[in-house]
Amino acid sequence: MTRNLTTILKSKTKCVAISRDLPTTIIGERINPTGRKAVLEALRAGNFDLVRKDALDQAAAGATVLDINAGVPGADEPTLIQHILRNVVDVIDIPLCIDTANPQALAAALSIHEGKALINSVNGEEKSLDAVLPLAREHGAAVIGLCLDGAGIPPTAEARFSVAARIIERATKAGIALEDVIIDPLAMAMSADSYAGRIALDTIQWVVKEFGVNISMGASNISFGMPDRKYINATYIAMAIHAGLTCPITNPLLPEVNVAILAADLSMGRDEYGMGWIKAYRKREKERKVQ
Amino acid sequence: MTRNLTTILKSKTKCVAISRDLPTTIIGERINPTGRKAVLEALRAGNFDLVRKDALDQAAAGATVLDINAGVPGADEPTLIQHILRNVVDVIDIPLCIDTANPQALAAALSIHEGKALINSVNGEEKSLDAVLPLAREHGAAVIGLCLDGAGIPPTAEARFSVAARIIERATKAGIALEDVIIDPLAMAMSADSYAGRIALDTIQWVVKEFGVNISMGASNISFGMPDRKYINATYIAMAIHAGLTCPITNPLLPEVNVAILAADLSMGRDEYGMGWIKAYRKREKERKVQ
ipTM of the complex: 0.94
Mean pLDDT across chain A, nearest whole number? 96
Contact B266 A234 (CB under 8 A): no
- Mean pLDDT computed over A110-121: 97
Residues of A in contact with B265 (CB under 8 A): none
pLDDT confidence bin for A2, thresholds 50/70/90: low
A242-265 mean pLDDT: 96
Q: Which residue of A has its CA nearest to B234?
A: A235
d(CA A260, CA A263): 5
Do A257 and A27 touch, CB atoms closer than 8 A?
A: no
Nearest CA to A141 out of A159, A123, A114 is that of A114
Label the pairing between strands A247-250 and B65-69.
unpaired
Mean pLDDT of A1-28: 93
Position B35 scores a pLDDT of 87
CB contact under 8 A, A284 and B228: yes
* Residues B277/B29, Cβ–Cβ less than 8 Å: no
Alpha helices in A12-69 (DSSP H): 37-44, 49-60
What count of other Cβ atoms lies within 10 Å of the Cβ of residue B271? 23
Distance, CA of B115 to chain centre: 18
Nearest 10 degrees: CA dihedral of B126, B131, B134, B136? -110
Q: How many residue pairs bridge chain A and chain B with CB atoms within 8 Å of each other?
A: 121
Distance from CA of A199 to the nearest CA of B (A): 9
Q: Where are the beta strands (DSSP E) in A70-221?
A: 96-99, 118-123, 142-146, 181-184, 214-218
Nearest residue of A to residue B269, measured between CA atoms: A195
* pLDDT interval class at B1 (50, 70, 90): very low
B206-224 as b/e, with b when 16 or more CB fall inside 10 Å?
Answer: bbbeebbbbbbbbbbbbbe
pTM of the model: 0.96
Chain A residues with CB under 8 Å of a chain B CB are 190-191, 194-195, 197-199, 201, 222, 226-228, 231-232, 234-236, 238-239, 241-243, 259-260, 263-264, 266-269, 271-274, 277-278, 281, 284
Nearest of A252, A174, A268 to residue A219 by alpha carbon = A252
Name the residue facing B197 among A226, A267, A281 (closest C-beta). A267
Angstrom distance (rounded) from CA A158 to CA A5: 22
How far apart are the CA of B291 and the nearest CA of chain A, in angstroms?
A: 19
- In tens, the pLDDT along A30-53 reads 999 998 999 999 999 999 999 999
pLDDT in tens, B50-77: 999 999 999 999 999 999 999 999 999 9
Residue A1 scores a pLDDT above 60: no
